[in-house]
Amino acid sequence: MAFKELTMTEVDELLTGERAMRIGFDANNERYLVPLGFIWHEGALYAMTTRGRKTRMAAANPKVSFQIDTSARTGLFSWHSLSGEGTFEVVTDSKELEAISPLLVSRFPDMPSWMHAEYAEKQEQGKVVFVRIRPTRMTGRKSEPA
């Protein structure tokens, strides 16, 4: 097995091909790691989530780490992985929300009906937010046969 750096083409394929990222938060002497569905759009990672621990921690420290990989599809021995750091921001601009909302929804056509219902209820309660991570650093590696 050989580890190699990802090419820019491979980075782009990973960012546009995968749908789940893990985000690491660090605030108030606490660490938190959580998976979120995402899209890569105009140089940023976007996700839809609910208010809670993530947003409280990001308000205290918006600097986050993230990781995206292919291991769910390819297994533990032959993968592509991207790690990075960036700034976690709640999206409030109405034009930006209009642009990303349909992109996020269309990215997950397999979302089960119970999840749609849960998000609709949370949206009515004002708990749903759209977030953006603007990467400040990204590095990628792959594991493949030598």
**What's residue 40's pLDDT?**
97
Structure tokens at 44: 């940023």
Is the pLDDT assigned to residue 1 strictly greater than 70? no
Confidence bin at 25 (pLDDT 50/70/90): very high
Nearest partner of 58 among 123, 142, 131, judged by Cα: 131
* Residues 88, 64 contacting (CB under 8 angstroms): yes
Whether the per-residue pLDDT at 143 is higher than 80: the answer is yes
Tell me the per-residue pLDDT of 108-141, one tens digit each, with 9 for 90 and over.
Answer: 889 899 988 988 898 889 888 999 999 999 999 9
- Residue keyed to tokens 């599809």: 73
The string of pLDDT tens digits covering residues 46-104 is 999 999 999 999 999 999 999 999 988 877 888 899 999 999 999 999 999 999 999 99
CA–CA distance, 72 with 81 (Å, rounded to integer): 11
Residue 22, classed as helix, strand or coil, is strand
- Asked whether the predicted pLDDT for residue 22 surpasses 80, the reply is yes
What is the model's pLDDT at position 83? 97
Beta strand spans in 92-145 (E): 128-144
Residue 32's pLDDT band (boundaries 50, 70, 90)? very high
Residue 146 has pLDDT above 80, yes or no: no
